[in-house]
Amino acid sequence: MKVSQRASSVAGSATLALATRAKEMAASGLDVVSMAVGEPDFSTPEAVREAVRVSVADGRVRYTPAGGTASLRAALAGAAGRSRGIELSPSQVVVTHSCKHALNLALVALTEPGDRVLLLEPVWGSYDAAVRWVGAEPVRVAPRADLGPDLDAIAAAARGARGVMLNSPTNPSGFVWSDEELRGILAIAEEHDLWVISDEIYRRLTYGDRPATSPLSLGEGARERVLAVDGASKSLAMTGFRIGCVLGPEAHVQAITNIQSETTGCPNALSQDAWESALLEEPAEVAGWVAAFQRRRDLLVAGLRELGLECTLPGGAFYAFPDATPFLDERGSEGLCADLLESEQLVLVPGSVFGMDSHVRLSYALGEPDLERALKRLGRFLESRRG
């Protein structure tokens, strides 16, 4: 019995594999510091846990409508609409099993086999897999030197393409798109009749004076060609709940609901109730987390720069993405990360995972003492490479 070509084309998430490896090493007694993590280290808010307890006690543990409960869709339409400054109706919202699932469903709803889809480097590795999985073809576009979008290069690649994946704040660089840049890409999308999938999973996590604007906020025309995906994992520390959504035109929301009803069925009932509780009243902890991430970002980036690594200041998410070129050998970022793991038990993610072998990704979703330890280990390692 053969594994199908389609299934074999998916290698499995490199970052998840690294994070799992780090956990295994720690469990075997090694003193590992993992900066591979893509999840907040904060505990899920108490109000969210309490909502789950109440739902279990009340027996709300059965199938819900395939696109999510009416009350969660209404809460999402209200909260997502308010935060993006637009009117959204529940018929423009479908609840999914996670943001990852949301973006896979959005791709199913938008692509035909062979369609060219633009991926803007540095790009989260899962987009590549998701695009291939639906039979479309990823087309990669390199960034500007500051890791922001190169609109000229995007315009050149847009000829013959069908869609583009956006992610602001960006995993892995933390780059936050300006409104001007978003208007620029929407103009390109209009000229070449591209759809846009806007991954807004880190939208709430920005630091400094540039909030993450959703392209949905930029006019009626944009709303006709954009599907936004979002979820509870990152800003509410609800990674294990596996809950997300797609926001967009009714026809696409209905198509996604139909696919979901025939494949996975409804999203987890308890996770839906839990998310709804957090949308109706943002848990008190969240604002404090944003401030803590900002402090950690500042500590980490200052430390990296002191070690001689060039690093643009990330405006959001919880990753730094410095240029490691001076410290690389012929094995590139993977070789560097492998040596670092071996010699210092420090886990970073190679930039090759994101299409930029010159860089490495460090998550700062870990406490300040661990950040300090990580910087010490990295400093020792880089010093040994210099020598």
Ligand X SMILES: Cc1ncc(COP(=O)(O)O)c(C=O)c1O
Of 94-102, 256-264, 284-292, 300-308, the segment contacting ligand X by CB under 6 A is 94-102
Which of 233, 268, 333, 352 is in the footprint of ligand X by CB under 6 A?
A: 233
With b meaning 16 or more CB within 10 Å and e meaning fewer, what string describes 67-79?
bbbeebbbbbbbb
Query: Is 173 an interacting residue with respect to ligand X (CB under 6 A)?
Result: no
Which of 37, 86, 99, 309 is in the footprint of ligand X by CB under 6 A?
A: 99
Which residue type does 7 have? A
- Of 334-373, which residues contact ligand X (CB under 6 A)? none
Cα–Cα distance measured from residue 46 to residue 207, given in angstroms and rounded to the nearest whole number: 24
Tokens representing 378? 């990295």
Of 96-104, 111-119, 147-155, 293-301, the segment contacting ligand X by CB under 6 A is 96-104
Say if strands 319-320 and 116-120 run parallel, antiparallel, or are unpaired: unpaired
Which of 22, 86, 118, 124 is in the footprint of ligand X by CB under 6 A?
A: 124
Question: In 3D, which of 5, 6, 10 has the Cα closest to residue 128?
Answer: 10
Query: Is 98 an interacting residue with respect to ligand X (CB under 6 A)?
Result: yes
Which of 239, 258, 294, 345 is in the footprint of ligand X by CB under 6 A?
A: 239
Residue number, 195 or 381, with CB nearest to ligand X: 195
Query: Is 171 an interacting residue with respect to ligand X (CB under 6 A)?
Result: yes
Query: Is 176 an interacting residue with respect to ligand X (CB under 6 A)?
Result: no
The residues, any chain, with a CB within 8 Å of residue 171's CB and separated by 6 or more, are 38, 124, 202, 317, 319
Tokens representing 141? 């576009």
Of 66-74, 98-106, 262-270, 341-349, the segment contacting ligand X by CB under 6 A is 98-106
Which of 167, 168, 268, 363 is in the footprint of ligand X by CB under 6 A?
A: 167
Which residue type does 320 have? A
CA distances from 232 to 82, 196, 200, 214, 244 (A): 17, 21, 11, 17, 6
Residue ranges binding ligand X (CB under 6 A): 38, 98-100, 124, 167, 171, 199, 201, 231, 233, 239, 244
